[in-house]
Amino acid sequence: MRLLGLDPGLGATGWGMIEFEHGRLSHVAHGVVLTDRTRSLAERLVQLADGLEAVLVTHRPEEAAVEETFVNRNPLSTLKLGQARGITLLVPARAGLPVAEYLPNLVKKTVVGTGHATKEQVQMMVRMLLPGLRTEGAPSAGADAADALAVAICHAHHRQTKARLDAARHPTTALAARR
C-alpha cells in the first residue's frame, strides 16, 4: 500500500511517500512544496494545492495522513497554518483518498518511542526505518520532509494495528476478505 504523509505549513509543506507491504516499510519519495512569501495568502494556498496535486499525480498514493497542528502564540500565524492545513486535508480528500490525522506527539511516540522526541531523533529513526532513504544527514528536503515521512510511518503502523483489531473482532469477515 502506498501512503502519503503530510506536514502542513504555509511556507513549506513537507511530504513523504512510503510503501507498506506485509509489515515492511520502504521509501518511495519525499520533498517539500514551497510557496512564494511575496504572494498573497490566496495565491500561496493555490501554490500549495497545485504542488500537492502534482505529488498525487506523480506518486499515486492510496491513503494520506496529515499531522495535526498545535496552536501557536501568534494568533495570525495559527490562522494561516490552519488554512494551509485545510489545503493538505482537502487535496487528497478531493482525489478520493482516505485521510487520517495524527497529533505530533503520537507521531513521535510511534516512530521514536517517546512523544517528546527531538527533530533530530525523529530524523534518525526515519532513516533507520526506511530502507533506501539516503543516509547522509536528514532527508534532502530537510526537517519538513522527515516529519512528513514520520507521519506516513505512523499511519502505516496505526492502520496495521487497526486491521489486526478488526480481524480479531470479526474473524469470519477477515477470513472471507482473504479469499
Mark whether 7 is an active-site residue: yes
How far lies 78's CA from each of 3, 81, 165, in Å?
Answer: 27, 5, 36
Strand order in the sheet with 24-34: 24-34, 12-21, 2-7, 63-67, 99-102
Task: From the candidates 19, 63, 144, 147, give the one annotated as an active-site residue.
Answer: 144
Torsion of CA 56, 123, 47, 50, to 10 degrees: 0
DSSP string, 70-82: PPPSSHHHHHHHH
Residue 50 catalytic? no
Check 63, 67, 101, 147 and give the catalytic one.
67
Whether residue 3 contacts residue 20, with contact meaning beta carbons closer than 8 Å, is answered with yes
Active site residue 166: no
Of 7, 19, 63, 147, catalytic: 7
The residues assigned a catalytic role are 7, 67, 144
